[in-house]
Amino acid sequence: MSRSDHARDDAAAGPPADDAGPMPAPLASMLRVLRLGYRAEPRLLLTSLAVTLLQALPDVLVAIWLALMTNGVVEHSRGQLLVGALGLAISATLMWALQVTLDRTKRRLGDRLNIMFQGHVAALQAGVATVEHHERPSYLDRIAVLRTGVFALDHLFGSMFTMLGWLVRLAFVAVLLAAIHPLLLFLPVAALPLLVVATWRPKVEKATEESVAIHGRLGRHLFTTATGAPAGKELRVTGNQDDLLRRRREAWWRWFGPQRTVQLASAGWLTAAWAVFGLAFVAAVWWVAGPHGAGPGAVVLVLTAGGRLSAYVGSAVGELGFLRGIWLDSAQRLCWLEDFAAAANSHSELAAPDRLRDGVTFESVTFAYPGTLRPVLENIDLTLPAGLVVAVVGENGAGKSTLVKLLARMYAPTGGRITADGVDISHIDVQQWRDRLAGAFQDFARLEFRAQDTVGLGDLPHLADTAEVSGALDRAGAAGVIDELSSGLSTQLGPSWDDGVDVSFGQWQKLALARGYMRHGPLLLLLDEPTAALDAETEHALFERFAAAARGDAGTVGTDGHDVGRITILVSHRFSTVRMADLIVVLDGSRVAEVGSHEELMAAGGTYAELYTMQASSYA
């Protein structure tokens, strides 16, 4: 069974196209992220805020010192000249000292918050009970933007504090201008169009970025495919490198083109807003120097304050744009992910059982991916008795792997329910339920660590226990893989690492199978095509060992020594293997077609007998 066939078994109608849900309110999101950051680093945050605000005072006073020096020169007042010069020197010294302190504080704060936010996002994604969201394009588009924005979240606080600093400066400058003449307050008012554009521009640009995110993801996928080792051999044999490059170029332009158009348009509006402010500034200087008839010191004060006002407005607009476009948007996405994860796990309140007495039951279970029409599983009524070895067979697309993933709570049924000894498993704490599962899947992870860790990660408490790891390797028939490695369990796996050793696909699968056998006494042992990369003879021998262990020869007792009533579920396309199961479930067209032992199903002469006979004749 190929990897693509396996994917069709999970999603006969393809991945879903479903709405990822509404985004939280911007201000509420900002407050939540602020609380999260404050809990992580309260002292550094308060220090950064205090220093940022203190910087405003000596900066604004520069205009006053220059005005005093000008009056001192024009009026030959030595006192004003000395006060202005001394004040200017003190302001310059304070600004330098505060800036050095702020830079070091912000750097330390940014490093710590960056680690915290990245870990928080990773934990949220990994903590969602199901994996269904990983196949929703709308979810993936939001996450693609969040993964970029999360690296900027550590600057959220610095940007907000800087914004407050610029606002304090603007207030001081407004007071200075009003002291010359109240009409000069129209100069800060002329900056309002800039603030409006700065608020609107990032929102439009981010909406465009999300609308074309799918093309960006495709471009990155094609780049990885064209430059990575896994596809390298096939690309060179088929010679389709140019086609991949063309597709990547087209996808990249579909991603970049709309964003460039929106950015150019918004830049035009920003230019117009700056023109309005520039004309107002020129008019203010002309009025003070001419019709108003102010003295040289007042003119210098307006020039200096107006020039600094221009710098403050520019900085405030820039910070507001980043705050609205990147950090506020990222805060919304982070809070959305928190809400999404909480909603997905909202029904998990019961403890997982220690053992199965009756078994697991599917009650009118239906499952379809959101946005698809045909159910992958439809009205499934099925009982899996405790203590049995159950095989699940059927043609590609029949729903075999989906049934297993529903048991593992990778997905939630869209109709009906699954119970363990009468309790709906969706009401059992998902982490506790997963702690009582073990198994291996065809689409396994290649964990490029030391061989000991690659296997031991199947049961974290026993990660460093060599005896436990060796036992799991024996149970999975994978001890020979370790014997072939130069340093045994200490061997680094993966050719891309120093002293790393490459192993074959089949050996990787055996190690993944051993990882699945690390846990003792699981309630469910899920083996979804765990030996697809192995030959039929090897798989047959391994399954004989699996079946013997499941029936009580080994591995069916919990930590208290009692039988846990384990159910072993094997998905395989080799009928010579599954005939050893106690119970065989035949899926056909999203429904359960037959249930029984090998002998019963052969005697019935139905779908199973037909498929078994067909496969046996092909092997003969």
pLDDT, average across residues 551-573: 62
pLDDT digits (tens, 9 = 90+) for 566-605: 898 988 877 777 888 889 999 988 899 999 999 999 999 8
Is there a contact between 176 and 60 (Cβ–Cβ < 8 Å)?
A: yes
Q: Name the more confident of 270 and 560.
A: 270
Of 331, 283, 263, give the one whose Cα is nearest residue 24. Answer: 331
pLDDT winner (highest mean) among 234-238, 379-383, 529-533: 379-383
Q: Name the more confident of 71 and 352.
A: 352
What per-residue confidence (pLDDT) applies to 613?
A: 86
Dig out the tokens for 412 from the structure: 């939630």
pLDDT digits (tens, 9 = 90+) for 237-262: 667 778 888 888 998 898 988 888 88
Half-sphere exposure of 29 (CA within 13 A, CB side): 22
What's the pLDDT band for 41 if we cut at 50, 70, 90?
confident
What per-residue confidence (pLDDT) applies to 346?
A: 67
Of 514, 403, 531, 414, give the one whose Cα is nearest residue 454. Answer: 514
pLDDT digits (tens, 9 = 90+) for 140-172: 777 777 776 666 676 677 777 877 887 787 777
pLDDT digits (tens, 9 = 90+) for 513-553: 889 888 887 889 888 887 665 666 666 667 766 666 665 54
Count CB-CB contacts under 10 A for residue 309: 26
The residues with which 439 forms a beta bridge, in sequence order, are 526
**What's the CA gap between 192 and 197, in Å, rounded?**
9
Of 612, 611, 584, 577, give the one whose Cα is nearest residue 600. Answer: 584
Is there a contact between 208 and 259 (Cβ–Cβ < 8 Å)?
A: yes
**What's the CA gap between 511 and 590, in Å, rounded?**
32
Average pLDDT value over all residues in the chain: 79
Q: 3-class secondary structure for 133-144?
A: HHHCHHHHHHHH
Is the per-residue pLDDT at 359 higher than 70?
yes
Of 185, 166, 165, 132, give the one whose Cα is nearest residue 52. Answer: 165
Is there a contact between 142 and 333 (Cβ–Cβ < 8 Å)?
A: yes
What per-residue confidence (pLDDT) applies to 202?
A: 73
**What's the CA gap between 182 and 176, in Å, rounded?**
10
Is there a contact between 135 and 17 (Cβ–Cβ < 8 Å)?
A: no
Is the per-residue pLDDT at 393 higher than 60?
yes
What per-residue confidence (pLDDT) applies to 312?
A: 67
Is the per-residue pLDDT at 287 higher than 50?
yes
Amino acid sitting at position 465: D
From residue 138, how far is each of 19, 22, 339, 567 by CA, in Å? 6, 11, 16, 36
What per-residue confidence (pLDDT) applies to 467?
A: 92
Is the per-residue pLDDT at 4 higher than 70?
no
What's the pLDDT band for 382 if we cut at 50, 70, 90?
very high
What per-residue confidence (pLDDT) applies to 447?
A: 86
- Per DSSP, the residues of 593-611 read EEEE-HHHHHHHTSHHHHH
What per-residue confidence (pLDDT) applies to 469?
A: 92
**What's the CA gap between 156 and 552, in Å, rounded?**
58
Q: Looking at 150-240, list the stretches that DSSP marks H as alpha helix, in order from N- to C-terminal side.
A: 156-180, 186-189, 192-211, 213-227, 232-238
Of 279-293, 323-337, 491-505, minimum mean pLDDT range:
279-293
Percent of the chain topping pLDDT 90? 12
Percent of the chain topping pLDDT 70? 79
Is the per-residue pLDDT at 181 higher than 70?
yes
pLDDT, average across residues 222-228: 80
Q: Name the more confident of 107 and 170.
A: 107
What's the pLDDT band for 115 if we cut at 50, 70, 90?
confident
Q: Based on the number of CB atoms within 10 Å of its own CB, is 529 exposed (0-12), middle (13-18) or buried (19 or more)?
A: buried
Q: Name the more confident of 585 and 72.
A: 585
CA–CA–CA angle 191, 92, 86 (5° rounding): 115
Element (H, E) at 42: helix 42-74
pLDDT digits (tens, 9 = 90+) for 192-210: 787 777 777 777 887 788 7
pLDDT, average across residues 398-409: 88
From residue 569, how far is each of 405, 550, 599 by CA, in Å? 11, 10, 19
What per-residue confidence (pLDDT) applies to 321?
A: 63
Q: Based on the number of CB atoms within 10 Å of its own CB, is 256 exposed (0-12), middle (13-18) or buried (19 or more)?
A: middle
What per-residue confidence (pLDDT) applies to 564?
A: 64
Element (H, E) at 584: strand 583-588
pLDDT, average across residues 373-378: 85
Q: Name the more confident of 18 and 366.
A: 366
Dig out the tokens for 309 from the structure: 């006002």
- Per DSSP, the residues of 482-518 read HHTSTTGGGPBB-TTSTT-B---HHHHHHHHHHHHT-
Q: Name the more confident of 113 and 302.
A: 113
Of 165-179, 223-237, 314-328, 423-437, minimum mean pLDDT range:
314-328
What per-residue confidence (pLDDT) applies to 245?
A: 85
Count CB-CB contacts under 10 A for residue 43: 9
Cα 573 from chain centroid? 34
What per-residue confidence (pLDDT) applies to 562?
A: 43
pLDDT, average across residues 115-123: 84
The conformation of residue 552, written as its DSSP 8-state character, comes to I
What per-residue confidence (pLDDT) applies to 317?
A: 66
Dig out the tokens for 143 from the structure: 């996450």
pLDDT winner (highest mean) among 41-55, 170-184, 517-531: 41-55
**What's the CA gap between 181 and 359, in Å, rounded?**
85
Is the per-residue pLDDT at 15 higher than 60?
no
Cα 287 from chain centroid? 56
pTM: 0.62
What's the pLDDT band for 110 if we cut at 50, 70, 90?
confident
**What's the CA gap between 15 and 4, in Å, rounded?**
13
What's the pLDDT band for 559 if we cut at 50, 70, 90?
very low
